[in-house]
Amino acid sequence: MSAALHISDALQAFLPTYRQHQTLSYQQEKVCRHITDCRTAQCGMQQWRCSDCPFEKQVYCSCRDRHCPRCQGRQTEQWIEAQQEKVLPWRYFHVVFTLPHELNVITQYAPETLYNCLFQAVWATLSQFAIKRKTLKGQLGMTAVLHTWGQTLAQHIHLHCLIPGGALDGESRWRGVKTDYLFPVKALSKVFRAKMFSTLRAADITIPQADLLMSKPWAVYAKPCLCKPDTVIRYLGRYTRKGMLHESRLKAIDKDSVTFSYKDYADNNRSKQMRLKGEEFLRRYLSHILPKGLMRVRHFGFLANRCRRKKLSIIRRQLPKSTASEEVVVKDKPMSCWHCPVCKVGILMLASIALHGANTQKRLSG
């Protein structure tokens, strides 16, 4: 059944053949090894014991690789909980900047430079609009998330930007946006194109098909404003921790191919299935593994890590009371625990951890 299929199944089936025709980078090799070893004895094992009966349970450890689809669930919950206190009780805007596919070739020899230039160009574009707009004339805040894939795993490099609807001027006064859209997308597209060309040239990157790219519009998409803080938090979780392929989309893996589901945005978001040769599936999947150390989620402006706490405090003091009352209330959650499946009374306690290749086992007391 599709629910039992994992990316590791596809790697084990097709990676040996793929290596015969393609060269994997060090980072791709490491990620493949992590995904294949995830929740197996290679990553170690935990021994859990019931507090009220003799029942014991063995659980294999996860790899914790950011590219592994089986390791993102709990991390996503923890990240969202940490972000709740950083969400302003104000309207937010979601803007997506997409690179033309002609620039995809740069990822073959300078992926980190291309992605860094994309972050820089988008922030420079939005900052310019915030400074020039009469009702703002200040500094924006932005959380930007890099995605390199489309629904069919084809290369589709774009940046999701979640932006609080307002700016801090030079005197630290909050100037809120009251329109349904932040900035006009056609104007954003032209400036974004110019900024991207400028940053790529500054990084000594040759721009393929430059004349063609300068003559056509670049895709910038904006959604209507999000007015509720809890909606903003759901957006944060959806776009910041989303991997290139959720394993629930895997439908079949046979000796030659992989079948997975996808949404066809050009056909009213209808759900369809795509069948790819095993090697082609791996080629697409591995093309989205990021260079080591590249930050996929970045914060800018008054949301930057170095000043966020201070500036958010300044903004909250200036928000109307009727708006501030809508702020998300973070409730204390009880500690998660496993109840014994046998006696139904006891709680499973972690008794020991065995690491792969270790001669000793670490036992936990208490």
Assess whether 135 and 209 both reside in one domain: yes
Q: In this predicted structure, what is the pLDDT of residue 131? A: 95
Assess whether 118 and 210 both reside in one domain: yes
Q: In this predicted structure, what is the pLDDT of residue 89? A: 86
Assess whether 231 and 102 both reside in one domain: yes
CA distance 73 to 200: 35
Helix (H, G, I), strand (E, B) or coil at 130: helix
Assess whether 234 and 315 both reside in one domain: yes
pLDDT category of residue 2 using cuts at 50, 70 and 90: very low
CA distance 279 to 276: 8
Tokens 């930050």, located at residue = 295
Domain assignment of residue 275, yes or no:
no
Domain assignment of residue 356, yes or no:
yes
Assess whether 348 and 236 both reside in one domain: no
Joined tokens for residue 51: 């507090």
Q: What is the pLDDT of residues 134-147, one digit of tens each?
A: 999 999 999 999 99
Joined tokens for residue 332: 């204390």
Closest to 175 measured CA to CA, from 133, 143, 142: 133
Assess whether 93 and 225 both reside in one domain: yes
Q: What is the pLDDT of residues 62-120, one digit of tens each?
A: 888 889 988 866 667 777 777 777 888 889 999 999 999 999 999 999 999 999 999 99
Residues 196 and 121: beta-carbon distance below 8 Å: yes
Assess whether 227 and 119 both reside in one domain: yes
At residue 46, what are phi and psi to the nearest 5 degrees? -110, 140
Domain assignment of residue 257, yes or no:
no
Say whether pLDDT at 361 is over 70: no
Q: Give every CB contact of residue 176 below 8 A, 6+ residues apart in sequence.
A: 90, 91, 165, 166
Q: In this predicted structure, what is the pLDDT of residue 150? A: 93
Tokens 């369809």, located at residue = 272
Joined tokens for residue 30: 């490491």
Q: How many domains are there within the chain?
A: 2
Q: What is the pLDDT of residues 318-352, one digit of tens each?
A: 987 654 434 444 454 555 678 899 998 899 998 88
| Full-model pTM | 0.87
Q: What is the pLDDT of residues 161-200, one digit of tens each?
A: 999 999 999 999 999 998 888 999 999 999 999 999 999 9
Assess whether 297 and 356 both reside in one domain: no
Domain assignment of residue 258, yes or no:
no
Assess whether 162 and 117 both reside in one domain: yes
Domain assignment of residue 21, yes or no:
yes
Residues 67 and 241: beta-carbon distance below 8 Å: no
Assess whether 88 and 231 both reside in one domain: yes
Q: In sequence order, which ranges of 133-206 are alpha helices (DSSP H)? A: 185-202
Assess whether 47 and 157 both reside in one domain: no
Assess whether 109 and 10 both reside in one domain: no
In which domain, by residue range, is 42 found?
2-65+334-363
